[in-house]
Structure 1
């Protein structure tokens, strides 16, 4: 797509710089620690920033952020012949997983909206012991700072409620009585990340540019998703959007059999060429009308190739 734009429009590569960034560590909770975040902080951004993610060839000018919580249980193991002697982290965390799924699913629709993903739960692999320690991971995605703060408060509240309910339910059951009595003491909430920025509304000039390039817009009523575009929030005189081939669900993103169709890649290349050409034309029409973005070096389009 970049090569096609350069062939069709000599200004691409001469008057307009194109910076392509392929970074590591965007997924798995790293959130750009090894790539996008330090690159943005170093000024490697453009007036137009396009983050490549599966959007069905529609551009998405917003992105949610995510807080990751870890519910950790640190108790004592015991042998299977004496289950009452230890703390059963499997039963405790399994109970909390269901409780948090119901409570946070309810809270997410009752105030500033957020999305909860009840994720990895691990205690152990042996069948002949009671595993006293383990952890439960949750991801809380949000579109605004208020929604993120509301999600954090909702998790703290739901966890306290869940621990009380667990104690009440299992205190009279001998194999789990010790776990019930000590549940609050051996359970703690840790934050892998929180308070990250979300990508908010973008300038109108960028919307018009994408339309001129023939790139459809992601519908306002369709939820956004989390990606490294959050690090471009607040860039001065810049437009940031998410745009790429395939879709998170239909192409089984992050799952076995993840794929992308060649036809989608070719269409993405065509639209990339059209977008670069439209941007170069816009620069020629409005050269000097907007203040330059003070970045080293000056750039036109920034693409982030993620792991999806």
Structure 2
């Protein structure tokens, strides 16, 4: 049995995907009334057009998750540590489905999982995916990072479905940082488009943003080739070019000087966390620096553009 912790759009989509593939799924959300209603009407607010299959049990009782050998953690990165520390859960495998770096500890999702659930094998899934596509059964491919390759093989087999294909790697850090850092670059690209800077500017930001990702990730132990895969380049291409991306949408609002979206946007906190990690390891990340300033209101888009264009010329 598969458990999904978090009944937001992505958690719900994964639950639906696994259920359609023949799994029994326990889907946990913190709001009692919402989950009770979902049990009756077979729908959840974040994906209102998607019917929950009969093999999904919506619940607000965390005790229902204790029967699950595999637990998918589909909650915001900045809430992961607090939530896991408060829940009496001991799954065999705990798979993070969030993207980011914990601001208080500068740890990635699997490190947070290992600290909170020491008896569980930590893993992570990440890559180019929108919840609506997964729920509709559209073809999606993700990276599965697990340092224990035997456990990774088990998870790859258990969680792959006819429409969700998982590619396995032991480079957990690479999968984590690809998924986290691309959100920062997506905010930059959204700001460029929102400010009317054009497609050439977006392409430049994506390319130089990938260069920043490839500087920081290896400094933290990741393999560069992982960043060129689904969780890095693949996700970068998706989130920097679609308004379905929350991070791109945030940048679009900043660049266009319109009200910011209220939904959780992981890249905002990741920009600050990435700068701290970059300083610790002596890595230069100018795009990440201006994104952190834009998100925090310390700079305008005009200031950001001036800062990037006035940098010393250098080799690619």
TM bin (shorter chain): under 0.3
Higher relative contact order (CA 8 A, sep 6+): 1
| Bigger fraction of residues in helix | 2
Larger Rg: 1
TM-score (norm 2): 0.25
TM-score (norm 1): 0.26
| Bigger fraction of residues in strand | 1
